[in-house]
Amino acid sequence: MSREYFYGAARKPAAAARIASMDRRPDVRGTRATGRVARLMIGQGHGFIRLNNQRDVFFHRADVMEGTAFNALRVGDAVIFELFEDAVSGARALHVGRRKRSG
């Protein structure tokens, strides 16, 4: 039996491709929405955004857009995000960023 066959060298490229594909998160998109930060759990790394209809939506620090620091957010800050409705876990805010002030 050859050494390559015994150690599985022929299977490595396929296994590496499968592992690499598992690392990529699908690019999930939702509908554009705005709201204000209602609660922040800085130590736990998540918070909630209150929509205009008084509904609270969960967001995680990983959902904050580049250029906006999670630790710099404050309760009451106006934010813009993509509202993703998930049948299993409920609503979630994705791509959260501070809303630009007009004027």
Condensed to tens digits (0 to 9), the pLDDT of residues 77-90 reads 999 999 999 888 88
Q: What percent of the chain has pLDDT over 90?
A: 56
User: What are the boundaries of each domain within the chain?
Assistant: 31-98
Distance CA 4, CA 47 (A): 51
Question: CA-CA distances (angstroms) from residue 28 to 1, 3, 36, 63?
Answer: 47, 44, 22, 11
For residues 91 and 85, the answer to whether their CB atoms sit within 8 Å is yes
Q: Which residue has the tokens 């800085």?
A: 42
For residues 41 and 75, the answer to whether their CB atoms sit within 8 Å is no
Q: Which CATH superfamily is domain 31-98 in?
A: Nucleic acid-binding proteins (2.40.50.140)
What was the pLDDT predicted at 99? Answer: 86
